[in-house]
Structure 1
Amino acid sequence: MKTQTILLIAIFTLIISSCGTKKVVNDNMLYNTTWELEYISGPRIAFEGLFPDKKPYLIFDKETSEVRGNNSCNGYTAKYTLNESAISFGEPGPTTMMYCGEGEKVFVNMMEKINQYGFDEEGKLTLMLNDVPMMRFKKKIN
């Protein structure tokens, strides 16, 4: 009986400690892919209403530490910094000045808040504010 109790405590401790382990993020998954936005948190406007014609996308360049793409209307370029699962984006570079609705503003404002990233079990990129998912991107099929 005493052996069973010790074994049960050991298994319980192992389960608890494994649940608290932080996943290691493989930053190589960021590269050689075009990431298309499929979810953004916050706005009261439906996703399709924010981005009716074109969804934002990102492409990460490991060599220059820049992310480029489109914010649904205009080009998007910014520096980024990685540190394990932490990510930060610099100010977006100059873009064309077309106005295409609220989606662009929502996207750019959200990118400024992001401080973590990760990948879900399907390989989708999640950008987070602390541990709260704020944006989710899928691999774009060209």
Structure 2
Amino acid sequence: MKKYVLLLSVFLFMVLNSCTASKTAAAKNLYGATWELEYISGPRIAFEGLFPENKPQITFTENEKKINGTTSCNGYGTSFTIDGNTIKIEQPGAMTMRYCEGGGENVFLQTMEKINKFSIDNEHKLNLMIDNVPMMRFKKVN
């Protein structure tokens, strides 16, 4: 009986440890790259209509826990916290103030404020989610 308990304990430890390792690996993959938006859920306007010239981008800085990027038109910066696959993105602070066509900037910023989870899928795409519903999908660009 003791062997079974010991074996079960070792198995549970390995399973729990592998889950923690995969969450840490997902967070590590956020850093060192610029991510470009390729999909956003919610608006009834076509993606190309929201972002007629440029697509929004996001870059995560691990040490400072900062995000920098563009809304497709204006630059922004903010902070974030991560715990496993849970992410909290603060409201962007300092932004440039150019006029933007298409209305995508507001949609992008409002969606970012609601994000509470993230994942990186098998195609190496970053998914920012509300609970388990993907709201934004990004691809790596360099």
Other-structure match for 2:38: 38
Task: Report 1:112-123 matches (<5 A).
Answer: 112-123=113-124
Q: SS in structure 2 opposite 1:87? A: strand
Q: Which amino acid aligns with 1:44?
A: R
Q: Which amino acid aligns with 1:42?
A: G
| 1:99, distance to aligned residue in structure 2 (A) | 2.0
Q: SS in structure 2 opposite 1:96? A: coil
Aligned-residue Cα RMSD (Å) equals 1.7
Residue deviations 1:57-100 (CA, integer Å, cap 9, x gap): 01100011000010111001110000000001112011111121
Other-structure match for 1:109: 110
Other-structure match for 2:64: 64
Please say if 1:132 is aligned against 2:133: yes
* Separation of aligned partners in 1, 2:99 and 2:39: 21
Other-structure match for 1:79: 79
* Separation of aligned partners in 2, 1:35 and 1:75: 14
More helix by share: 2
Q: SS in structure 1 opposite 2:87? A: strand
Matched-pair identity in %: 52
Q: SS in structure 2 opposite 1:80? A: strand
TM-score computed with the length of structure 2 as normaliser: 0.81
Other-structure match for 2:90: 90
* Separation of aligned partners in 1, 2:30 and 2:111: 19
Which deviates more, 94-103 or 31-40?
94-103
Q: Which amino acid aligns with 2:129?
A: M
Residue deviations 1:86-123 (CA, integer Å, cap 9, x gap): 00111201111112131000000000000000011111
Q: Which amino acid aligns with 1:49?
A: G
Other-structure match for 1:51: 51
Q: Which amino acid aligns with 1:58?
A: I
Q: Mark the structure with the bigger radius of gyration.
A: 1
Q: SS in structure 1 opposite 2:105? A: helix
Instruction: Could you tell me which runs of 5 or more consecutive residues in structure 2 were left unpaired when the two chains were aligned.
Output: 1-18
- Regions of 4+ moved over 6 Å: none
How many residues of Structure 1 are paired with residues of Structure 2 in the alignment?
122
Whether contact under 8 Å (2:76, 2:96) holds in the other structure is no
